[in-house]
Every structure is written in structure tokens, then in C-alpha cells.
């Protein structure tokens, strides 16, 4: 079920984000269908631009890691070798070690072949799913944008007349909550991109601008985005500054960044606009992440905010029924 719902959920989210641009283009004079196509093109170009910012950073750091890997392995061997000697392990006999590895691998040939076959099958399934997304999401997105207003007006007619006003007001409240969340999240991303770029520059990293911007932009993926930015920064810092200076620099920069985000930026710029307790945030991330995977993690906080608005409306309606 999640595999079926996920593309439609992704298309709906993209339609919600692009609908203001589509309406603006329509007010300028473009037909709704053409405005929908232009909005989709603009959104696609924006995503490609974000990817273009991130991929060169990852590629550059990976190339650095490849170039420095022999030295890193030599240093690691120099640190580990005395410990192995102290344990009495015969690590000097490289040929014997090689033979042991070959024997170990040959003894598990069937298992390795089976795992390889399973991996290939999983890869084919992922490829088929990806192709389905690439075809289905744009089509659903186009029709959602093209018929956005009529879809909601017709959906409202399916609700009994006595509840239509309450549902319409709840929809407006949800829209205002999501708008506030998106605006606040955009401000948090910009502020953190500026902070990380400046802090990494002061820390002496050559790739300060690209890593700082990438970390700030990835903040919209709760926890995962920060972890990706942290991993890239750790690789870059250890290669450029050395192991311990690099680790210390990144620990200070990203530790302060987390404090800034958690205790000031997010409460100040998003906080009350969603009204979620930290425990509710963690539960929402785990629940929707388990339901929809990475897409669920992205949608966790907006969906939780929607549920909060609906819950508040239900409680309010029960506390003050229309007949009173």
C-alpha cells in the first residue's frame, strides 16, 4: 500500500508547493494548463540546481579521500600494528594472511553468489520503481495543478452540507499552518547555510562555501540531512586539517549549529506555527518514516501539523456543538 500511496503523496506535496507559482502565472495571463507546465519546469530546474550544488561537493570530497586513502591506511596500520603484535597475532606473514582470506572467501562462494543474486534482483526492483515514479509523479502533478481548485471544490461537495463550513474552515487553518511551516523552514535553512559557511570558513576548510550551503539546504530532511552534511564535513576536515584538529573543528561547528537550530531558530521561526512537542516530533518522524520511508520523513512534520489542526477542530466542535 505504501508503494502505491507514496508517488501520489509526493505529487500532492509538489503540487502544493508549486500551486502559488501556477496561480501567479495564471493571473498574469497564461492558461491554467500552460501555467501548470511552466510551474513544473521551474520546479524541476530548481531541484536540478540543488542537486548540482550537492553532487560536486560529494564528488570532490570522495576524490580527496581516494587520493589520501593510502596515507590514511598507512597511519592506521602504524597505530594498529603494535597492538596486534602485543596480542601475539602473526601479522608479519602477509602470504599466510592472504591465503587465509582466499580460503575464507572460497568457503562462502555459494553464499556470496546468492547474496549477489538477491542484490541484483533488489536493484532491478528499485529501477522499476524509480521508472514508475518518473512517469507517474509528473502526470499526477500536472493534473493536480491543472484542476487544483475544482478538485477541492468537488471534494467539498462529498461532505454533508451541515459540515461543509467546518471542513472549509479547517482546510483554511491547515493551509495557514503549512504556509507558516514552509516559510519558517525556508528561513531556518537560509540562516543555517549562512552560519555553517561562515563557521567552516573560520575553521579553515577550503570547501567552506559548498559544504555550508549544502548542510543548510539539507536541514529540511530532519536528522538525516544534518547527518549527511556532518559526514561530508568530517571527511573534508580530516583530510585538510588532520584527524584530531579536523574532528575538533567539526565537533565545535556542528555542535553549536545544532544548539542554534534546536534552541533558537526552530522555536523562533517555526515553533508555535506547528505546535508540536519534541516527543511528538520524534514519534511523527518514526511513524511516517516507517510508513512511507524517506518520503515519510520529509512529510512527517507537515502531516503532524495537519493532524494537530484537525484534532484541535474536533475537540473544539465537541466542546461547543453547533446547536448550542
Q: Could you list the residue range(s) of the whole structural domain that residue 281 is in? A: 161-319
**Count of CB atoms situated within 10 Å of the CB of 308:** 17
Is there a domain that residue 131 lies in? no
pLDDT for the residue 167: 81
- The domain tally of the chain equals 1
Asked if the structure places residue 69 within a domain, the reply is no
For residue 320, count other CB atoms closer than 10 A to its CB. 9
Does 227 map to a domain?
A: yes
**pLDDT for position 94:** 47
Which is more confidently placed, 223 or 212?
Answer: 212
Q: How far apart are CA 211 and CA 67, in angstroms?
A: 19
Q: Residue 250 in contact with residue 234, Cβ under 8 Å?
A: yes
User: Once rounded to an integer, what is the mean pLDDT over residues 251-265?
Assistant: 89
Residue 238 lies in a domain: yes
Q: What is the pLDDT of residue 261?
A: 86
Write the DSSP symbol of residue 269. Answer: I
For residue 50, being part of any structural domain is answered with no
Residue 50, pLDDT > 50, answer yes
pLDDT category at 72 given cuts 50, 70, 90 is: low
pLDDT at residue 183 in the model:
83
In a domain, residue 104? The reply is: no
Averaged over 228-239, what is the pLDDT? 86
Residue that wins the pLDDT comparison between 323 and 273: 273
Cα–Cα separations (whole angstroms), residue 66 to 18, 105, 315: 40, 25, 59
pLDDT single digits (tens) 10-37: 888 888 888 889 999 999 989 999 999 9
pLDDT, tens digit, 9 for 90 and up, residues 176-218 = 888 888 888 888 999 999 999 999 999 988 878 888 888 888 8
pLDDT of residue 252: 94
Cα–Cα distance between 72 and 26 in angstroms, integer? 58
State the Cα–Cα distance between residues 265 and 251, nearest whole angstrom: 19
Lowest-confidence region among 124-128, 146-150, 187-191: 124-128
Higher-confidence residue of 294 and 70: namely 294
Domain assignment present for 215: yes
With b meaning 16 or more CB within 10 Å and e meaning fewer, what string describes 27-46? eeebebeebbbbbbeebeee
Q: Higher confidence at residue 289 or residue 261?
A: 261
How many angstroms separate the CA atoms of 220 and 217, rounded?
7
Q: Is residue 100 part of a domain?
A: no
Amino acid at each position: 500500500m505504501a508503494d502505491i500511496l507514496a508517488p501520489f503523496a509526493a505529487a500532492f506535496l509538489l503540487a502544493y508547493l508549486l500551486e502559488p507559482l501556477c496561480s501567479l502565472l495564471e493571473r498574469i495571463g497564461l492558461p491554467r494548463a500552460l501555467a501548470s507546465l511552466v510551474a513544473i519546469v521551474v520546479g524541476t530546474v530548481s531541484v536540478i540546481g540543488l542537486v548540482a550544488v550537492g553532487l560536486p561537493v560529494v564528488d570532490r570530497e570522495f576524490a580527496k579521500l581516494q587520493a589520501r586513502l593510502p596515507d590514511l591506511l598507512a597511519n592506521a596500520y602504524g597505530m594498529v600494528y603494535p597492538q596486534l603484535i602485543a596480542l601475539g597475532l602473526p601479522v608479519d606473514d602477509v602470504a599466510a594472511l592472504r591465503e587465509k582470506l582466499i580460503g575464507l572467501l572460497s568457503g562462502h562462494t555459494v553464499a556470496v553468489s546468492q547474496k549477489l543474486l538477491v542484490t541484483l534482483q533488489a536493484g532491478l526492483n528499485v529501477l522499476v520503481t524509480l521508472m514508475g515514479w518518473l512517469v507517474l509523479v509528473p502526470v499526477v502533478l500536472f493534473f493536480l495543478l491543472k484542476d487544483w481548485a475544482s478538485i477541492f471544490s468537488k471534494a467539498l461537495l462529498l461532505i454533508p452540507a451541515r459540515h461543509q463550513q467546518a471542513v472549509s474552515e479547517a482546510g483554511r487553518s491547515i493551509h495557514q499552518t503549512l504556509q507558516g511551516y514552509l516559510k519558517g523552514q525556508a528561513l531556518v535553512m537560509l540562516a543555517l547555510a549562512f552560519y555553517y559557511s561562515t563557521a567552516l570558513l573560520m575553521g579553515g576548510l577550503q570547501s567552506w562555501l559548498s559544504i555550508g550551503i549544502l548542510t543548510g539546504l539539507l536541514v529540511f530532511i530532519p536528522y538525516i540531512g544534518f547527518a549527511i552534511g556532518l559526514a561530508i564535513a568530517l571527511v573534508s576536515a580530516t583530510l585538510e586539517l588532520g584527524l584530531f584538529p579536523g574532528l575538533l573543528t567539526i565537533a565545535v561547528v556542528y555542535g553549536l549549529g545544532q544548539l542554534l537550530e534546536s534552541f533558537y531558530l526552530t522555536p523562533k521561526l517555526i515553533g508555535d506555527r506547528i505546535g508540536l512537542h519534541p516527543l511528538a516530533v520524534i514519534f511523527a518522524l518514526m511513524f511516517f518514516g516507517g510508513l512511507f520511508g524517506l518520503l515519510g520523513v520529509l512529510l512527517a512534520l507537515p502531516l503532524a501539523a495537519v493532524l494537530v489542526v484537525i484534532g484541535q477542530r474536533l475537540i473544539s466542535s465537541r466542546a461547543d456543538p453547533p446547536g448550542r
